[in-house]
């Protein structure tokens, strides 16, 4: 299974809390998706999963186009969407710090249990991502199908937390840059064996 965070979006470029808002990729984001495709190389995929948000879908299409696999069956699900940022949605990180204070905003961004007003915590995000992984994605892996999942920083943090057994304290230190690539081999019992990771600095 290959996991990819989407390339830089227009929201990322502007320093905005994007969440469930739906900007597309920036020009850099398309380049980052091409870089991710080069890391993936000649892996042949049987199925692809992505969120219902444009930036993830555009990244997946760019990757599949670059590796010559445009015909791969693709499933979209809101369960893979970025976490909902509630009242932070659509404002810049600097504006958020001015309104709520640096420490509170940092806690909302990084901790496992803290949620912004009207939004989701990482724990809330995990509560929808992991059941979806178990019911929709894992069966394909257990059948030996190569699978690619293109999603978002926090939906992938939640999934990786479960796959690697990362505790709620250490997850606060883990960041997933745009276009990062993770690869896992799955045992017959559904447990994962870690593979490579690659993040890009373009």
Number of domains in the chain: 1
**Among 202, 182, 177, which residue's Cα sits nearest to residue 43?**
182
pTM above 0.75? Answer: yes
CA separation for the pair 137, 1 (Å, rounded): 9
Domain contains 103: no
Q: How confident is the model at residue 199 (pLDDT cuts 50, 70, 90)?
A: low
Q: What is the pLDDT of residue 60?
A: 98
Catalytic annotation, pick one of 82, 84, 120, 152 = 82
Q: How confident is the model at residue 16 (pLDDT cuts 50, 70, 90)?
A: very high
pLDDT at 172 over 80: yes
Residue 175 falls within a domain, yes or no? Answer: yes
Q: How far is CA 55 from CA 42, 46, 51, 65, 198, in A?
A: 23, 22, 9, 15, 19
Catalytic residue list contains 84: no
Our answer to whether residue 6 is catalytic in this structure is: yes
**pLDDT above 70: residue 195:** no
CATH code: domain of residue 53 = 3.40.50.1240
Of 151 and 196, the one with more pLDDT: 151
| Per-residue pLDDT tens over the stretch 73-126 | 999 999 999 999 999 999 999 999 999 999 999 999 999 999 999 999 999 999
List 6, 84, 140, 152, catalytic entry: 6
Indicate whether 200 pLDDT > 60: no
| Band (202; pLDDT cuts 50, 70, 90) | very low
Domain residues for 135?
Answer: 2-82+122-198
| Residue 56 placed within a domain | yes
What burial class does residue 188 get, using C-beta atoms within 10 Å of its C-beta: 0-12 exposed, 13-18 middle, 19+ buried?
exposed
Please provide the size of the chain in residues: 202
| Contact of 125 with 115, CB cutoff 8 Å | no
Model confidence pLDDT, tens digit, residues 52-86: 999 999 999 999 999 999 999 999 999 999 999 99
Residue with tokens 């745009």: 178
With respect to residue 88, please indicate whether it lies within any of the assigned structural domains: no
Residue 97 inside a domain? The answer is no
Q: Which of 15, 9, 10, 13 is nearest to 94 (CA)?
A: 15
Q: Please, which residues have CB within 8 angstroms of residue 57's CB and are 6 or more apart in sequence?
A: 50, 51, 76, 150
């Amino acid at each position: 299974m290959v996991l990819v965070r989407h390339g830089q979006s227009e929201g990322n470029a502007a320093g905005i809390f994007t969440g469930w808002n739906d900007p597309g990729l920036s020009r850099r984001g398309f380049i980052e998706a091409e870089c991710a495709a080069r890391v993936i190389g000649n892996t042949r995929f049987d199925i692809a999963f992505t969120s219902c948000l444009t930036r993830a879908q555009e990244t997946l299409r760019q990757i599949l186009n670059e590796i010559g696999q445009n015909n791969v069956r693709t499933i979209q699900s809101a369960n893979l969407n970025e976490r909902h940022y509630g009242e932070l949605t659509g404002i810049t990180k600097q504006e958020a710090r001015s309104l709520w204070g640096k420490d509170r905003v940092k806690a909302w961004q990084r901790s496992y249990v803290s949620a912004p007003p009207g939004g989701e915590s990482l724990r809330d995000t995990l509560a929808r991502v992991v059941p979806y992984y178990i019911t929709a994605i894992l069966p394909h892996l257990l059948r030996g199908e190569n699978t690619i999942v293109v999603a978002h920083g926090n939906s992938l943090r939640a999934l990786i937390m479960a796959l690697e057994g990362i505790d709620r304290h250490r997850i606060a230190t883990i960041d997933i840059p745009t276009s990062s690539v993770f690869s896992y081999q799955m045992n017959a019992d559904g447990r994962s064996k870690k593979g490579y990771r690659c993040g890009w600095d373009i």
